[in-house]
Amino acid sequence: MSHYKSNVRDQEFNLFEVLGLDKVLGEGEYSDLDPDTVREMLAESARLCEGPVAASFVDGDRNPPVFDPNTHTVTLPESFKKSVQAFIEGGWDKVGTLEELGGMPMPRILVWAIHEHVLGANPAVWMYAGGTGFANILHHLGTDEQKKWAELAAERGWGATMVLTEPDAGSDVGAGRTKAVKQDDGSWHIDGVKRFITSADSDDLFENIFHLVLARPEGAGPGTKGLSLFFVPKFLFDPETGEPGERNGVFVTNVEHKMGLKVSATCELTMGQHGIPAKGWLVGEVHDGIAQMFDVIEQARMMVGTKAISTLSTGYLNALEYAKERVQGADLTQMTDKAAPRVTITHHPDVRRSLMTQKAYAEGGRALYLYTASYQDAALAKAVHGVDAELAAKVNDLLLPVVKGCGSEQAYAKLTESLQTFGGSGFLQDYPVEQYIRDAKIDSLYEGTTAIQAQDFFFRKIVRDKGVALGHVAGQIGEFIKNESGNGRLKSERELLAKALEDVQGMAATMTGYLMAAQEDPQSIYKVGLASVRFLMSVGDLLMGWLLQRQAAVAIAALDAGATGADKSFYEGKIAAASFFAKNMLPLLTSTRQVIDTIDNELMELDEAAF
């Protein structure tokens, strides 16, 4: 039986009953899509991921890739390669990519809903199978000749990687020292060492791999403004046919030993230091590298958040299944009666609290990433939210660090609740949750740690944007609070949401005050740094609280219309999750606001020796 448990019903609820995806189907660039086709795609994707894709999840962890330093190659488990091949053979690696690359146009919200399945079932499969996605980016950024290369890469099924990090240039990307020297033939020789490169070698899965590498052209200035983006293939190739030729001078020189996500080979990549030059080609213009790479990074951050949320969802559903079957102890009302019948642990108050916490964050997180994705298509954003493309892009930018930062932190924390539901059995490898936890920890680390997300959120997405996107989202929440959907049955929950909105707006005002004060007292900026992660997490809770209540209003209407059977239970669960979150999570924002309001710099003034 598969470890992975999808939740297609909740996806369909979000897409059609809440967000109105059907408003853009059957017309324009989505003329080939209708609601029935979308439902079939979700169901088929879930079947594949619950079956062949999930099949190697455990084996890939217990028998991770083997690195041969003599040949600079990585050997992957055969079972895992079969999972990757099943995913690619089904065409799922091309979902949402350009037609020139063999893809089919579809709204980003549907693309991410489909990706949720593989990211929950076996996330490393998505990472190895990302070649066409990278080709899509190269096609967007590259010259006419490079567009042809992108088409060849997609047609021939090449792998691909994103190559930023160096041993001394992690979060500080601008400290990168990998250099590029222009050659007479228009190519560049790349020289340097990169670290933490996902899928930099992939056994015999692909005939070639292309790396998108950040490097500093010879003579360029310091910092991120001096960086450029280069296309560096593992094998040089015929530019007309794509047929691989000579080995290029880019080699894997180490594979990390990790806590989790072990089957995803995390590599050190060395270029130009093995007697063969590492030939690369400039993508776009010189010094555009960091701006170009942010196209890749933004996709990666959305992926990480979706991965985390999907993992929490399957963790919760595994815990729920176990709790419904595990008989232990008597009902609390009969705890002193030794003859009382034994009950399943779903009867115990704290187990119910834990399960509803998991449910609320899993379904709230799904609502969050899908809401964010609804701004990634101009047509859908206009149809659903009534906004133009410029504002839609701003809102998407605002929400990405929330999806990535809050999604990863909350998923990791709530997966411990999933494990706790199993009791001592959860600590065993007989059940998948301990692996979920190990695999999920990376989500708050790569593609920018949570602190990096929090600073990006405040400084770039709020301050630099002058609060435009935040004001739009806050306005939507405010309108929901005022309206009467739910026929007054969410009155107390709305009041709690209103207080949470007030608290978050107060936090934003306080942090802006600290920033303004830094003009006179530079150390006041430390207060922003001390508050930023807590602020980001508070915004995440506010958004999930609102989205859950919006779902509850839809559920109330469906129940009033006479929903029965499984649908009735589903809608009742929606109302319960929204109410629980409002009463148990939203009030905590008041204390967080108080902490942010009273932050001082004592911690920053403390001598390092005192830690």
288, with CB counted inside 10 A (0-12, 13-18, 19+), is middle
Residue labelled with tokens 């199978």 = 129
DSSP letters for 309-327: HHHHHHHHHHHHHHHHH-E
Phi-psi region of 85 (alpha: psi -120 to 50; beta: other; left: phi over 0): alpha
Model pLDDT, residue 293: 86
Residue % of the chain over a pLDDT of 70: 100
Percent of the chain scoring above 90 in pLDDT: 96
- pLDDT value at position 126? 98
| Predicted local confidence at residue 488, as pLDDT | 79
Structural domains of the chain, count: 2
Q: Which amino acid is at 172?
A: D
Q: Is the pLDDT of residue 157 over 90?
A: yes
Average pLDDT over residues 31-59: 98
Of 252, 287, 322, the residue that ends a domain is 287
Averaged pLDDT for residues 570-584: 99
- Strand pairing category for 179-182 and 209-217: parallel
Indicate the SS3 state at residue 246.
strand
Q: Is 4 helix (H, G, I), strand (E, B) or coil?
A: coil
Name the band, by pLDDT with cuts 50, 70 and 90, for residue 485: low
Structure confidence by residue, pLDDT tens digits, 416-431: 999 999 999 999 999 9
Predicted confidence at residue 377, as pLDDT, reads: 95
Query: In this structure, is residue 274 part of a structural domain?
Result: yes
DSSP per position, 201-244: --TTS-S-EEEEEEEEETT--SSGGG-EEEEEESEEE-TTT--E
Residues 6+ apart with CB under 8 A from 449: 171
Q: What confidence score (pLDDT) does residue 56 get?
A: 99
CATH code of the domain containing 208: 2.40.110.20
Q: Say if 173 falls within a structural domain.
A: yes
pLDDT at position 438: 99
Planar angle of CA 57, 62, 66, nearest 5 degrees: 105
As a whole number of angstroms, the distance between CA 603 and CA 155 comes to 56
pLDDT over threshold 90, residue 361: yes
Closest by Cα among 257, 261, 270 to 128: 261
pLDDT higher than 80, residue 453 = yes
CB contact at 8 A, 386 and 283: no
Q: Tell me what the mean pLDDT of segment 218-236 comes to.
A: 96
Q: Does a structural domain hold residue 503?
A: yes
Q: Using the predicted structure, report yes or no on whether residue 557 has a pLDDT greater than 70.
A: yes
Residue-level pLDDT at 359: 99
Q: Is 325 a catalytic residue?
A: no
Say if 356 falls within a structural domain. Answer: no
Which of residues 244, 259, 287 is at a domain's end? 287
| Per-residue confidence band for 487, with pLDDT thresholds at 50, 70 and 90 | low
The pLDDT score that the predictor gives to residue 200 is 96
Q: Say what the pLDDT of residue 569 is.
A: 99
The pLDDT assigned to 484 comes to 74
Query: In this structure, is residue 535 part of a structural domain?
Result: yes
Report, as an integer, the average pLDDT of 465-493.
92
Residues 6+ apart with CB under 8 A from 236: 244, 245, 246, 247, 248, 279
Q: Which of 243, 447, 493, 520 is catalytic?
A: 447
Span 181-209, mean pLDDT? 97
Residue 467, pLDDT > 80, answer yes
Where does the pLDDT of residue 1 fall: very low under 50, low under 70, confident under 90, or very high at 90 and above? confident
Q: Which tokens belong to 54?
A: 């999930």
Task: Determine the pLDDT at residue 294.
Answer: 84
Answer with the one of 287, 306, 339 that is the final residue of a domain: 287
Residue of 51, 53, 80 whose CA lies nearest to 64:
80
Mean pLDDT, the chain, rounded, equals: 97
User: How is residue 353 written in tokens?
Assistant: 């609290």
CA-to-CA separations, 560 to 113, 548, 550, in angstroms, rounded? 28, 18, 16
Q: Write down the pLDDT at residue 386.
A: 97
- What is the pTM for the complete model shown? 0.97
Within 8 A by CB and 6+ apart from 101, the residues are: 94, 132, 135, 136, 139, 150, 151, 154, 155
- Amino acid of residue 476: Q
Between 387 and 291, name the one with better pLDDT: 387
Residue 383 has pLDDT above 90, yes or no: yes
Within 10 A of 546 (CB to CB), how many other CB atoms are there?
29
Dist. CA 571–CA 560, nearest whole Å: 11
Host domain of residue 156: 52-90+122-287
Strand pairing category for 266-271 and 188-198: antiparallel
Asked whether residue 486 carries a pLDDT value surpassing 90, the answer given is no
Residue 383 included in any domain = no
Please give the Cα distance from 469 to 396 (Å, whole number): 9
297, pLDDT greater than 70: yes
Tokens encoding 439: 């695999």
What is the dihedral angle through the alpha carbons of 378, 382, 386, 391, rounded to the nearest 10 degrees? 10
pLDDT digits (tens, 9 = 90+) for 312-355: 999 999 999 999 999 999 999 999 999 999 999 999 999 999 99
The pLDDT-based confidence of 295 (bands split at 50, 70, 90) is confident
3-state secondary structure 48-87: HHHHHHHHHHHHHHHCCCEEECCCCEEECCHHHHHHHHHH
